[in-house]
Amino acid sequence: MSYGQTAEPPATEPPEPPATEPPAPGTPAGTSAGTDAWSAPSRKLIGWEIFSVFAVSLGASGLYALIQLIGSLTASKSLGKQQAVLNGSLAPGRPTLDLILQLTSIAIDLAPVVLVFYLFAREGKTPSVIGFDLSRPGPDLLRGAVLAALIGGSGLALYLTAYHLGFNLNVVAESLPNVWWRIPVLIFSAAHDGILEETVVLGYLLRRLEQLGWRSSRAIALSAVLRGSYHLYQGFGGFIGNAVMGVIFGLCYRRWGRVMPMVIAHTLIDMGAFIGYAELHGHVSWLP
């Protein structure tokens, strides 16, 4: 190197861009693998998800109830002379084991609710997306109580009419042993029904059908028919009464955007039916 010349720095290669993993299969174009990939699932995936959720929950119950109704219709006795027990003993003569089985059964039956909340979490949502939270206790409780009062009385009248016309089985709301945990278990059972059905068949299903672009009236109709289907084991009155309740609940959910009023209403209706039956059966002539 001679004086008067400036030494040039040694040539360097441009830095390589950081390595990135290829997007997961099924990831929409323009999104990265991870949480964003679940923010906009395809219509096909939504359809499969709905089928899967109901195949392990209330959809399967609807199929089973339909088969039970066919069995009742083809039996030698008329519908009115057959019984459908809603809350029966799981270990007759063993009250402690019976209690454990009752509570375990209630907890296991709530698994579809956990599944739905998990699916919401996959898209970055919480249960509040369907209004399942305690953010508005006052209005939710008031609306739920009003709905329970309106639907509970008319539902009882419909059941008694259908039973006496021979369209319904004799629904035995409870046949638990007369022990200290009888009423608490009936309360837990009523809360179980309200949480499970309103979370899955109302909030979850209507949200997913909305994402598929269904009209509100069509989605509510499907939800109501599904609600009626898993009550078919009670007879035609059970189907009609619960389908009508499903339409009312669906309209209220669309108006309020929250499932909590319906969870409360459903719980109160079932509490009234279960505990009322326990206290009144055998003491009043109009209750079969």
How much of the chain exceeds pLDDT 90, in percent? 80
- Sequence-ordered list of residues with C-beta below 8 angstroms from that of 281, at least 6 positions apart, any chain: 173, 287
Does 3 have pLDDT greater than 50?
no
Cα 180 to its chain centre, rounded Å, is 29
Q: What tens digit of pLDDT does each residue of 94-138 get? A: 999 999 999 999 999 999 999 999 999 999 999 999 999 999 999
What are 179-188's contacts with CB under 8 Å, separation 24+?
179/95, 179/99, 181/95, 181/99, 181/102, 182/278, 183/275, 183/278, 185/87, 185/99, 185/102, 185/103, 185/106, 186/87, 186/271, 186/274, 186/275, 186/278, 187/271, 187/274, 187/275, 188/102, 188/103, 188/106
Q: Say whether pTM exceeds 0.75.
A: yes
DSSP 8-state symbol, 88: B
Mean pLDDT (the chain) is: 89
pLDDT reading at 87 higher than 70:
yes
Q: State how far the Cα of 263 lies from the Cα of 275, in Å rounded to an integer.
A: 18
Portion of the chain with pLDDT greater than 70, in percent: 85
Q: How confident is the model at residue 288 (pLDDT cuts 50, 70, 90)?
A: confident
Gap between the Cα atoms of 20 and 35, Å rounded: 16
pLDDT at 281: 83
Domain residue extents for the chain:
41-280
User: The tokens 């598929």 sit on which residue?
Assistant: 212
274-279 long-range contacts (CB < 8 A, ≥24 apart) are: 274/86, 274/87, 274/173, 274/174, 274/186, 274/187, 274/189, 274/190, 275/183, 275/186, 275/187, 276/173, 277/172, 277/173, 277/174, 278/173, 278/174, 278/176, 278/182, 278/183, 278/186
